[in-house]
Amino acid sequence: MAEGSRASPLAFGQVVIGPPGSGKTTYCQAMQEFLARLGRSVAVVNLDPANEAPPCPCALDIGELVALPDVMASLGLGPNGGLLYCMEYLQANADWLRDRLQALQGHYVLFDCPGQVELYTHHEALKNVFAQLAKWNFRLAAVHLVDSHYCTDPGKFISVLCTSLSTMLHVELPHVNVLSKMDLIEQYGKLAFNLDYYTEVMDLSYLVDHLASDPFFRNFRRLNEKLVEVIEDYSLVSFVPLNVQDKESMRQVMQAVDKANGYSFGDQEHRSLEALMSAAVGADFHFSSTLAVQEKYVQSQEKAVEEEVMDL
- Give residue-wise pLDDT tens across range 52-99: 777 778 999 999 999 999 999 999 999 999 999 999 999 999 999 999
Task: Tell me the CATH number at 270.
Answer: 3.40.50.300
Report CA dihedral (168, 173, 176, 177) to the nearest 10 degrees: -20
Maximum CA pair distance of the chain? 75
- 70-79, 198-207, 252-261, 266-275: least confidently modelled range: 266-275
List beta partners, residue 240. 178
Residue 295 is assigned to a structural domain of this protein:
no
- What is d(CA 237, CA 181) in angstroms, rounded to the nearest whole number? 19
Residue 42 is assigned to a structural domain of this protein:
yes
Neighbour order of strands in the sheet with 175-180: 60-61, 42-46, 108-112, 11-17, 138-147, 175-180, 240-241
Q: Choose from 122-131, 229-238, 274-283, 299-308 the range with maximum mean pLDDT.
A: 122-131
- The interaxial angle of helices 247-261 and 24-37, nearest 10 deg, is 90
DSSP class of 112: E
Q: Residue 151 — very low, low, confident or very high, per pLDDT cuts 50/70/90?
A: confident
Instruction: Provide the mean pLDDT of the chain.
Output: 85
- What is d(CA 277, CA 255) in angstroms, rounded to the nearest whole number? 11
Residue 229 is assigned to a structural domain of this protein:
no
Residue 185 is assigned to a structural domain of this protein:
yes
Q: Residue 311 — very low, low, confident or very high, per pLDDT cuts 50/70/90?
A: low
Judging by DSSP bridges, how do beta strands 138-147 and 11-17 pair with one another? parallel
Of all residues in the chain, what percent carry a pLDDT higher than 90?
59
Per-residue pLDDT, averaged over 265-294, amounts to 52
Residue 302 is assigned to a structural domain of this protein:
no
3-state secondary structure of 140: strand
Residues 141 and 173: beta-carbon distance below 8 Å = yes
Residue 299 is assigned to a structural domain of this protein:
no
Residue 180 is assigned to a structural domain of this protein:
yes
- What is d(CA 308, CA 149) in angstroms, rounded to the nearest whole number? 23
How many domains does one find in the chain? 1
Judging by DSSP bridges, how do beta strands 11-17 and 108-112 pair with one another? parallel
Task: Select from 5, 242, 288, 291 the least CA-distant residue to 137.
Answer: 5
List beta partners, residue 46. 61, 112
- The whole-number pLDDT of residue 101 equals 95
SS3 content of the chain, % helix, strand, coil (to 5): 60, 10, 30
Beta strand segments in the chain, E: 11-17, 42-46, 60-61, 108-112, 138-147, 175-180, 240-241
pTM of the model: 0.83
Residues 261 and 279: beta-carbon distance below 8 Å = no
List beta partners, residue 175. 142
Residue 81 is assigned to a structural domain of this protein:
yes
Q: Which residues of 81-91 are buried (b: 16+ CB within 10 A; e: fewer)?
A: ebbbbbbbbbb
- What is d(CA 177, CA 257) in angstroms, rounded to the nearest whole number? 10
Domain span including residue 96: 11-201+237-276
How many beta carbons lie within 10 A of that of residue 25, not counting itself? 19
Q: Residue 283 — very low, low, confident or very high, per pLDDT cuts 50/70/90?
A: very low
26: which residues sit within 8 A by CB, 6+ positions away? Answer: 55, 244
